[in-house]
């Protein structure tokens, strides 16, 4: 009987549409667990009630097709007539997406209505139609497994971000007896709540409190995230802190494109452009790039590449919208792309002149790592995890230093030697972390009978010559937190606690 279980709630809630951000990571974890030849893992989901159950045979079949990309994605062939698009959505719901979450509804409604901004009457009507189709019970199976692995003593369970959220927000009646591990992407909504929506920050704080109180092990996606988790654990003053481990994230887009053709974006084919791939929200600092482009246009003219934002609209983006509206001269020089397929995204990375990542806060920086996977030089902010994700190989600009960004972008746009030297550096020194290495490291940590020898791995970005990944932010954070109140507890002096050894990078 299985004693190792993997939570598949995120893929099942996401459904068959292009995967981005954290869902992309959790798809990878489930996919690699399914591919493991030993077949050790059984798969479960967590309901909104907080109760968990193993997947039935139909759900397992759907899960395999979903994470292996065998299902037709919502948004494929968006130019088709409405009835054809409706048929695509209905088939997805019939095949298993009836249990998917709100993001599936939003993406499908955008696909049906043609409203990429997710606004307007047609969008709202489409969303209501989709929820009605889901409520009809399309695709629901009659029988359900009842075994709950979270209640089994001795079971070792990987808990997804969605599963953890449901547990933290519910009043689960069944005791938790399993040994639970989960992945932590960042602590940004707690450390910098002004960069996120208030309700999300409240929910996140509740989820993190549950995580630190109920999980045996928390696995950070970067050394920086693990260090911040250690600081947070010490501040909580728990009787027994969870073990903090590391499985460095890497990026997975390039591997998913093996054997597949890249798909050009027609409006950019043959054009000179710079790329920022990220959700459009306040934390990602798109406003800096808009101001930068507005200031460089009079100086560089046609030598300045088009500025391409590739990502969905998130939250707290009013400043971006207002700046674009008040600077009409940017209309011909800024391109915003949403809901790109993997084939289109890979083409953007391959075809851009250089990348940009001015984010104010990150747990890793997936878009930055993806850029290097495709050999694309990228300018990153001095957010510590970005130096770790790019292995200290790329130019770093202070996040609020407009003049530094102006100088670096000017060189990138006008000096061919700038890009040539960085591309050579990527080819020579970059060590990509592939999906299987990341996921199998993480899953081995979940299965471990006893904690591994504690250590925090030194990534290239943490060496002294690379200030973006230095330990200075950690020491600064210690000073900031020292003496602060955390509930009834007060933070004193402490060492940064144990994190598992970092993931060895795979060969190119």
Residue by residue, pLDDT tens for the chain (508 residues) are: 679 999 999 999 999 988 888 999 999 999 999 998 777 899 999 999 999 999 999 899 999 999 998 888 786 555 788 888 888 888 888 877 887 888 788 888 888 888 877 788 998 999 999 889 888 855 455 566 789 999 999 999 999 999 999 999 998 989 999 999 999 999 999 999 999 989 999 999 999 999 999 999 999 999 999 999 999 999 988 888 999 999 999 888 998 888 899 999 999 999 999 999 999 999 999 999 999 999 999 999 999 999 999 998 888 999 999 999 999 999 999 999 987 888 999 999 999 999 999 999 999 999 999 999 999 999 999 999 999 999 999 999 999 999 999 999 999 999 999 999 999 999 999 999 999 999 999 999 999 865 444 434 433 333 333 333 333 443 443 343 333 322 322 222 222 223 332 322 232 2
Residues 6+ apart with CB under 8 A from 199: none
Residues 6+ apart with CB under 8 A from 39: none
Q: Which of 126, 363, 343 lies closest to 249 in space, CA to CA?
A: 363
For 482-491, b/e burial (b = at least 16 CB within 10 A) is eeeeeeeeeb
Domain topology for 1-55+145-249+433-508: Rossmann fold (3.40.50)
Q: Which residue in this structure is represented by tokens 């993001």?
A: 103
d(CA 290, CA 171): 46
Q: Given this chain, do its domains 1-55+145-249+433-508 and 260-429 carry the same CATH topology?
A: yes
CATH number of 260-429: 3.40.50.2000
Residues 6+ apart with CB under 8 A from 194: none
User: With contact defined as beta carbons under 8 Å apart, do 341 and 73 qualify?
Assistant: yes
Domain ranges of the chain: 1-55+145-249+433-508, 260-429
Q: Which of 73, 62, 15, 53 lies closest to 34 in space, CA to CA?
A: 62
Rounded to two decimals, the pTM is 0.83
**Bridge-based pairing state of the strands 354-357 and 485-486:** unpaired
Task: Identify the three-state secondary structure at position 197.
Answer: coil
């Amino acid at each position: 009987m299985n004693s190792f279980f993997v939570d598949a709630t995120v893929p099942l809630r996401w459904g068959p549409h292009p995967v981005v951000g954290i869902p992309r990571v959790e798809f990878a974890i489930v996919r690699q667990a399914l591919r493991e030849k030993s077949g050790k893992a059984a798969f479960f989901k967590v309901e909104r009630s907080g109760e968990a159950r193993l997947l039935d045979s139909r759900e397992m079949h759907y899960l395999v097709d979903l994470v292996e990309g065998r299902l037709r994605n919502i948004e494929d062939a968006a130019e088709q007539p409405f009835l054809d698009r409706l048929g695509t959505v209905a088939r997805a719901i019939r095949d298993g997406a009836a249990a998917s979450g709100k993001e599936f509804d939003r993406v499908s409604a955008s696909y049906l209505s043609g409203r990429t901004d997710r606004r307007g009457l047609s969008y709202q009507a489409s969303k209501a139609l989709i929820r009605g189709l889901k409520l009809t019970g399309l695709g629901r199976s009659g029988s359900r497994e009842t075994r709950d692995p979270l209640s089994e003593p001795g079971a070792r369970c990987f808990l997804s971000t969605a599963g953890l959220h449901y547990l933290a927000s519910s009043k689960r009646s069944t005791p938790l007896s399993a040994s639970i591990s989960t992945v932590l992407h960042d602590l940004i909504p707690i450390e910098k709540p002004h960069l996120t929506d208030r309700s999300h920050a409240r929910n996140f704080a509740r989820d993190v409190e549950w995580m630190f109180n109920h999980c045996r092990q928390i696995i950070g996606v970067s050394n920086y995230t693990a260090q911040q988790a250690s600081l947070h654990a010490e501040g909580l003053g728990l009787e027994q802190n969870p073990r903090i481990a590391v499985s460095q994230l890497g990026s997975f887009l390039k591997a998913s494109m093996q054997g597949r053709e890249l798909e050009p974006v027609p409006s950019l084919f043959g054009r000179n452009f710079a790329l920022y791939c990220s959700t459009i929200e306040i934390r990602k600092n798109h406003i800096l790039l808009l101001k930068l482009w507005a200031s460089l246009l009079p100086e560089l003219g046609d030598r300045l590449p088009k500025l391409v934002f590739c990502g969905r609209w998130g939250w707290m983006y009013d400043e971006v919208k207002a700046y674009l509206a008040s600077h009409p001269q940017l209309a011909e020089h800024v391109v915003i792309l949403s809901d790109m397929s993997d084939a289109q995204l890979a083409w953007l990375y391959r075809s851009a002149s250089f990348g940009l990542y001015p984010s104010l806060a990150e747990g890793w920086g997936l878009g930055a790592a993806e850029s290097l996977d495709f050999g694309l030089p990228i300018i990153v902010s001095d957010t510590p995890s970005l130096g770790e994700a790019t292995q200290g190989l790329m130019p770093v600009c202070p996040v609020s230093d407009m003049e530094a960004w102006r100088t670096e972008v000017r060189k990138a746009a006008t000096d061919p030697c700038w890009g040539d030297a960085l591309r050579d550096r990527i080819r020579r020194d970059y060590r990509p972390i592939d999906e299987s290495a990341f996921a199998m490291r993480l899953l081995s940590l979940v299965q471990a009978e006893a904690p591994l020898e504690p250590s925090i791995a030194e990534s290239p970005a943490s060496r002294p010559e690379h200030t973006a990944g230095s330990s200075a932010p950690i020491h600064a954070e210690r000073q900031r937190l020292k003496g602060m109140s955390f509930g009834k507890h007060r933070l004193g002096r402490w060492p940064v606690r144990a994190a598992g050894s970092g993931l060895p990078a795979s060969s190119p």
